[in-house]
Amino acid sequence: MRRTTVADEIKKLILTRELKPGDLLPTETELCETLDVSRSSVREAIRTLSTLDIVDVRHGHGTYVGAMSLDPMVEALVFRGVLSPDGSLAALREVVDVRLALDLAMADNIVDGAIDDDSDELSALVDDMVDKASRGEMFLEADRAFHTKLFAVTGNRLAAQLVGAFWDIHTAVIPQLGITVPADIQRTAEAHGDMLASALRGDVEGYRRAVVEHYKPLQRAISARRNEQ
C-alpha cells in the first residue's frame, strides 16, 4: 500500500468514526491492525497528515485530529516569497492586493455584523497602534488582532482564516525585504480608527475609504523599495 493511500485510509477512518478536530486518534498499534499495514507506513502517513495540519501529534500524549488550518499554505507561500529579493517584493504586493480585495469585499458583512460587542477591545487595539506609531514603532500584533477580530464577525471562517494567513505571510516577508517603518505609519494606525468608527456608524463607504487609506503607507514603502532595486 502506498503512503498516500494509508494517509487516505486514516482520513476515511476519521470520517467514518465521525471524529472532530481535537478528538484523539486510535493508537499507532490500533491503526496498524485496523488498516492492516506496517508500523512504518502508519508513521509515514501520520507525518504527512501532520504536515498538512490534518492530525496533531502531541508527543507523549497521542495523536489528535488537527485544526486543518491554513498553516501549510502559509509555510509554502512564505518560502516562495523569500525565494528571491525581487520575488519577495512581488509576492508581498500580491498579498497586499489580495488582502485589500478581501477587506473591500467583506465590507458589507463587517459593517452589518455585530461588532458593537467587540468595540471596546477593537478601540483599545487602535489606541495601542496609534501609541506605538507615535513612537516610531511597528505594531504588528495589534494590527493582526484588529483585522482577525473584525473578520470574525463575518461568520465566514474561511475568510477569517485567510486574513490571518496573509497576515502571517506579510509579517514573515517584510523583515526579509529591508522595508523600514514607513514615515507615515501613523496614518495606517489612525486609519484603523476610521475603519472602526465607520463600521460602528454603519457607513460602508466610509469603511471602504478607510481600508484603502490604511494600506497606502505600506504600498508606498513597497514602491520605494522597488525603485531602489
Strands 55-58 and 62-65, sheet pairing? antiparallel
Neighbouring CB atoms inside 10 A of 74's CB total: 17
From residue 158, give the alpha-carbon distance in Å to each of 69, 70, 82, 177: 9, 9, 25, 28
- Of the pair 98, 140, the CB lying nearest a second copy is at 98
Residue 51 binding a second copy, by CB under 8 A: yes
CB of 139 to a second copy, least distance (A): 24
Instruction: Report how far residue 76's alpha carbon sits from residue 91's, in angstroms, rounded to the nearest whole number.
Output: 12
Restricted to residues 80-99, the positions that interact with a second copy (CB under 8 A) are: 80, 82-84, 90-91, 94-95, 97-98
List 1, 24, 101, 183, residue binding a second copy (CB under 8 A):
101
Instruction: Report how far residue 66's alpha carbon sits from residue 55's, in angstroms, rounded to the nearest whole number.
Output: 4
- Of the pair 90, 200, the CB lying nearest a second copy is at 90
CB of 218 to a second copy, least distance (A): 16
The grid cell for 155 is: 461568520
Size of the site for a second copy (CB under 8 A): 42
Instruction: Report how far residue 167's alpha carbon sits from residue 172's, in angstroms, rounded to the nearest whole number.
Output: 9
The footprint of a second copy (CB under 8 A) covers: 11, 14-15, 18, 20, 44, 47-48, 51-54, 68-70, 72-73, 75-77, 79-80, 82-84, 90-91, 94-95, 97-98, 100-102, 104-106, 156-159, 162
